[in-house]
């Protein structure tokens, strides 16, 4: 089953999206955008940048949990992952984004 971008409105009249793997697990979450068009541009940016490993910034939370941030060519953050239990689990998450993002469909969800 293919991955998908789930676009949804937020409480404050904004929009955000999640990239979900084929199994339905969220593998990347966007920031909140002011408009639907801006969120759709964010999705296109994820599709374009996910193929480049150098766009993934590997980080660690204050309590030592690994996570990653996907950045656009201009250095702007376009999505971030959940916290992972290990560095290898985080690397699997990055691989999943790289595999799922380029061809993922966009579906609109209810708020």
- Tokens linked to 63: 């309590």
Residue 28, helix vs strand vs coil: strand
pLDDT in tens, 59-99: 999 999 999 999 999 999 999 999 999 999 999 999 999 99
* pLDDT given at position 109: 86
Q: Coil, helix or strand for 39?
A: helix
Q: How far apart are CA 86 and CA 102, in angstroms?
A: 25
List the domains of the chain with CATH numbers: 4-108 (2.30.29.80)
Cβ of 91: how many Cβ atoms within 10 Å?
15
SS3 state of residue 10 = coil
**Are the C-beta atoms of residues 48 and 35 closer than 8 Å to each other?**
no
């Amino acid at each position: 089953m293919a991955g998908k971008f789930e676009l949804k409105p937020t409480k404050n009249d904004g929009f955000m999206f999640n990239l979900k793997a084929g199994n339905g697990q969220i593998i990347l979450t966007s920031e909140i955008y002011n408009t639907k068009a801006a969120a759709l541009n964010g999705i296109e940016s994820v599709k374009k940048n996910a193929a480049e490993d150098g766009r993934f910034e590997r980080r660690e939370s204050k309590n030592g949990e690994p996570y990653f941030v996907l950045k656009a060519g201009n250095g702007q953050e376009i999505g971030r992952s959940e916290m992972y239990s290990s560095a290898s689990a985080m690397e699997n998450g990055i691989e999943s984004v790289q595999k799922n993002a380029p061809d993922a469909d966009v579906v609109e969800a209810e708020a």
